[in-house]
Amino acid sequence: MLAYPTVRTSLIFLAIAIGGLLVADIAITTANPWQDLGQFFLGVATPNFFSTEGLATALLRTVAFAFVGVTLGSVFGFLLSLAYRWLPVRLFCAFIRAIHELFWALIFLQFFGFHPLTGVLAIAIPYAGIFAKVYSEIFEEADPEPGRLLPPGTNRAVAFLYAKVPDCWVQLRTYTAYRLECGLRSSAILGFVGLPTLGFYLESSFSMGMYSDAGAMLILFYVLIATMPLWVRPKLLPVFILAAPFFLGEGMPIVWGNVERFFTEDIVPAPLREGEGLAGLLPWLGDVMANEALPGIWNTVVLTQIALVATGILSLLAFPLISRHFGGPVRRTSGHVLLVIARSTPEYILAYILLQLWGPSMLPAVVALALHNGGIIGHLIGRQSSTIHLRPDAPRGFVRYSWELVPRLYRPFLAFLFYRWEIIMRETAILGILGIYTLGFYVDSSIQELRFDRAMLLILITALLNIGVDTLGRYIRRRLALQTLPTC
């Protein structure tokens, strides 16, 4: 077994995660965690859809922000994808997508305030970076032959429209639709920093202990995502896109003085602002690094590695739930429902709920990340397992699982897992806003203390860390010759 590089890599990651568990802060600190959890489930079981009219508005705003943000992101992402071969464009895209939506929201909040533009840009900017990358990959994979056969002198735009776009169209559409679903999740969690989407109402219901209201919100959110194929229709799309900007709400007017001050004063490192010059900059940098950046990086990396392995274990356990090689239709349907719930709940919301119930430690974050990402990967490899044809006399039960299926699915499984590595790290950093000591915690506290210079530096460090992990993940995937699809 050890001769397989995939097995060796897995064991190394497992060892790192176990080492992480030894140093990580894993504990349940609330007095009655299971009672609280029980009350929460009772709330979900007895949802109250009519307590406030705020719920309908929140739902509408969530959809509106998602549509405007994803539309802008896909348009700019498309334009960027045309120039993606140019290195500065690639670096720019890698940078803007390495910063999480919530960090972008936190930045824009400081100078646009609670204006709709804050939420729209927070989604549109990172999404443009992601769209640019994936669109350009789709274009690159298209057959180059039709383009080569065009008569010389054909306009380049025309050549692109005829020889590239039609064959990529289905993939572009599928990916954009998938991103719209992600956009709904992003839009929902923007509420946690104060924008008028679902997260805002979820947080307020929770803090008042109104679990039935929170349950109603979660159920509506699942219904919204599960019914997307029904209401996101090609013919209705133009209507949604044109109407969405009118449903973002009024928010607060932008004070342009704030915008100017933010860029010319707030984000300038304190020693420079106060005229201490470069001599003061080094101690300042050292202070931020030693007290905020390094502890933040350490906790982010430890948590990411534990969550990555937990995600992997959970996906391997979960995929038989929907695989056609096990159980009957009843079990598969319930398996599908479980996995849909796990992957449609944003990890941020899961982590928020678990933190409320179990108290602050890394445990809720690990469980939330593993549930969400495990739901996604479990779904993907479960679906893939159903395309495998076993011989009629293949063994059953656990032997079928361990001898027939896992060996065949292990490579795609690792490919998905390493693809999501960077996504898990981005989320881990952001979960700090909830009070776990990852980078997001230090960013959030710097902002609370109005030290935007530190916050910006820490966001920059987070972005670089994400880019680093993304590069490492791609290197490992290449070394192990693992293929991935962009939609994951």
Q: Which stretch binds other proteins (CB under 8 A): 155-163, 184-192, 196-204, 377-385?
A: 155-163
Q: d(Cα 127, Cα 179) in Å, to the nearest integer?
A: 8
Cβ at position 160, least distance to other proteins in Å: 11
Q: What ranges in 319-361 are assigned the alpha helix state H?
A: 329-344, 347-358
Q: Which residue among 158, 223, 255, 313 contacts other proteins (CB under 8 A)?
A: 158
Q: What is the DSSP letter of 27?
A: -
Q: Which residue among 89, 150, 182, 476 contacts other proteins (CB under 8 A)?
A: 150
Indicate the burial class of 95 (C-beta count within 10 angstroms; 0-12, 13-18, 19 or more).
middle
Q: Which residue among 151, 328, 329, 392 contacts other proteins (CB under 8 A)?
A: 151
Question: Does residue 235 touch other proteins according to CB under 8 A?
Answer: no
Check if the beta carbon of residue 437 is closer than 8 Å to that of residue 296.
Answer: yes
Q: Which stretch binds other proteins (CB under 8 A): 15-23, 96-104, 148-156, 296-304?
A: 148-156
Q: Which is nearer to other proteins, 154 or 291 (CB)?
A: 154
Cβ at position 155, least distance to other proteins in Å: 5
Q: Which stretch binds other proteins (CB under 8 A): 142-150, 248-256, 369-377, 441-449?
A: 142-150
Q: What ranges in 83-210 are assigned the alpha helix state H?
A: 87-98, 101-112, 116-141, 145-148, 156-159, 165-190, 198-207
Count the alpha carbons within 13 Å of 106 in the hemisphere toward its beta carbon. 25
Question: Does residue 159 touch other proteins according to CB under 8 A?
Answer: yes
Question: Does residue 161 touch other proteins according to CB under 8 A?
Answer: yes
Question: Does residue 146 touch other proteins according to CB under 8 A?
Answer: yes
Cβ at position 170, least distance to other proteins in Å: 7
Check if the beta carbon of residue 273 is closer than 8 Å to that of residue 284.
Answer: no
Query: Residues 84-123 vs other proteins: string with x where CB under 8 A?
Result: ----------------------------------------
Question: Does residue 234 touch other proteins according to CB under 8 A?
Answer: no
Query: Cα–chain-centroid distance for residue 299?
Result: 19
Cβ at position 172, least distance to other proteins in Å: 11
Q: Which residue among 162, 178, 222, 410 contacts other proteins (CB under 8 A)?
A: 162
Q: Which stretch binds other proteins (CB under 8 A): 151-159, 267-275, 351-359, 397-405?
A: 151-159
Question: Does residue 254 touch other proteins according to CB under 8 A?
Answer: no
Question: Does residue 140 touch other proteins according to CB under 8 A?
Answer: no
Cβ at position 142, least distance to other proteins in Å: 9
Terminal-residue alpha carbon distance, the chain: 28
Question: What is the phi/psi pair of residue 436, to 5°?
Answer: -90, 145
- Angle between helix 101-112 and 116-141 (nearest 10): 140
Q: Which residue among 87, 157, 230, 330 contacts other proteins (CB under 8 A)?
A: 157
Q: d(Cα 199, Cα 33) in Å, to the nearest integer?
A: 22
Angle at the Cα of 38 from the Cα atoms of 37 and 44, rounded to 5 degrees: 90
- The structure tokens listed for 331 are 């079990």
Helix (H) or strand (E) holding 79: helix 54-82
Q: Which is nearer to other proteins, 65 or 135 (CB)?
A: 135
Question: Does residue 154 touch other proteins according to CB under 8 A?
Answer: yes
Q: Which stretch binds other proteins (CB under 8 A): 161-169, 210-218, 398-406, 456-464?
A: 161-169
Query: What residues contact 345, with CB distance under 8 A and at least 6 apart?
Result: 218, 221, 222, 371, 372
Q: Which is nearer to other proteins, 170 or 208 (CB)?
A: 170
Q: Which is nearer to other proteins, 151 or 275 (CB)?
A: 151
Query: Cα–chain-centroid distance for residue 266?
Result: 29
Contact residues for other proteins, defined by CB under 8 A: 143, 145-146, 148-155, 157-159, 161-163, 166-167, 169-170
